[in-house]
Structure 1
Amino acid sequence: MGVILITGGNKGLGRETARRLLALGHTVHIGARDAGRGRAAAEELGSGFVQLDVTDDASVAAAAAELTRGEGRLDVLINNAGVFEGVVGPEELTAGQAEAVYAVNVFGVVRVTHAFLPLLRAADSPAIVNVSSGLGSFGVVNDPARSEGAHAVPLYASSKAAVGMLTVQYAKGLPDIRVNAVDPGFTATDLNANSGPQSLEEGTDAIVRMATAAGGPTGTFSDRSGPLPW
C-alpha cells in the first residue's frame, strides 16, 4: 500500500478520492489551505492532514518537511487543488483574473511538484496525477459532439491546457516517475454549484485508477472512459 498526498483534499473530488483510497488500504494525507476545515475533514475521513496552500512557497515547503518527518516517502502526489473563476468571456477577461487562477491551477502544480520530488524519489514506484479537465483539451473543445465546446471559458480552459503540457513535459523529463493527467468530467462539486451530472464517485474514477496503476503508463490524458486527446 502506498503513501498518498491529495492537494485540495478537504472537499469535493479531493475528499472523495481520499475516501476511496483509504478504503483500499492506502495511507492518505489531505492537504488544505484552511487548517480548520482540513483537520475536520481528515478526522471524519480517518486520514492524515497537512496545512498546504499551493500558492505559498513557505506553506508547501512546511508540508513537504512534515511528510518527510512522518512518512519518509511519497508514493503518489495528486495535484487536485484548483479554482474556477466562473464563466468569464474573452471581452471581460483581465490579467488580474488570469494571475489569480493560474496561481492555483498552474503555478500551484509546479510549486507542489518541485517541493515533493525528493519524497517521491524515495518511493519505489512514484507517480504524479494531475487533475485536469476536458476543457483543457484542444481535441475535446473542438469536437462538435462534446459539450465542452459550447461555451468560451478562456481562463479556466487555458489553465488546464497548461496543466496538460506540464504533464507531458514532466513525463519526458522525469522518467523515474509516472506522470499522468486525468479529466474527472462534469461532476457535481462546489466549483460548479453542484450542477454537474456526474456523482463524486464517477468523477473520481479516473483519479483513483491512475493513482493505483502501479507500473502503468506515463504522459497520458484520460477520463473514466479511457484516453483523451490533448
Structure 2
Amino acid sequence: MIATLGVAARKATQAAGVAVIAISLSLGFATGLAHADETAVRGMYGDPVAAIAFWQPQTYDDCVLMAAADVVGEATGRRVSEQEIIALAQQTPSQTHPGSIYTMPKNKDDPNTGQGTSYNDIPLLLSHYGVAATVIDKNDAGVPTGMAALKQYLGAGRKVIVALNAELLAGQPEDPKDPGPNHAVVATGVDTVNGAVHLNDSGVDDGADKIVSIELFTKAWATGDDELVVTGARR
C-alpha cells in the first residue's frame, strides 16, 4: 500500500520560508553539525535495529502521521498508536492551511477525499510529545540537507523523516498523475560500507527496517528537494 500526501499537502511542504530558518537557529542547527558527535560503527550512521520497535503499518493516507509517531517512539521510548496520532492531528489546528492538521478521507482508497498532512505541521505534532524538530530542504540557505547532512544527523542521534516519491523508491516509474514527493518515511540508518539506506516505511507490509540502495533513495528523495524533518540536538 502506498499512501500519498495529497495535493494540498505537497504544495504546503514547498514553503518553509524564513520561519523555518529562525526555528533552525533556535535549535542550534547553525552550529550543531559543526560540533556534532558524529559516530559511525562499521560504516553505519544511526541505529536502524533499535528503530524497528517503533515501526507500524499505516491504515489510511497517514504516512506523515505514522512517521511522526515513529519518531516520537525513537526519541522518547513511548510507542504512539495510529489512533492516537490521528486523534491529535484531527484536534490540532494546522499552521499551513485552514482546519485541522489532518482530515481522514471519506473514501479510504482515495486519499484526495481527505486532507493530507503538511510536513510543516510535523514539528507541531512532535512538540506535543516534547520533541523539538524543524523542517529543512535544499532551498534553505545555511541549513544542511542531502546525504552528507543525513549521515551527520543520524550519527549524532537525531531522528529524521524524509519526503520522497514512493514509486521511485520502489524502483518503479514515477506516476505522472502523482509526481513528486508523495510519501513520508523515517530514515533510520545510512550504511556507507554497503551503500544502503535503512528506512521505517509505514506504507508497505515489510516496511520495518526496509533497506534500499543509496542511489535509489537519493533519486526518490530528490523529487522533494531533499526535504526532511529532523529532531533537535541531544542535550
The TM-score with structure 2 as length reference comes to: 0.26
Answer 1 or 2: higher relative contact order, Cα 8 Å, separation at least 6: 2
The TM-score with structure 1 as length reference comes to: 0.27
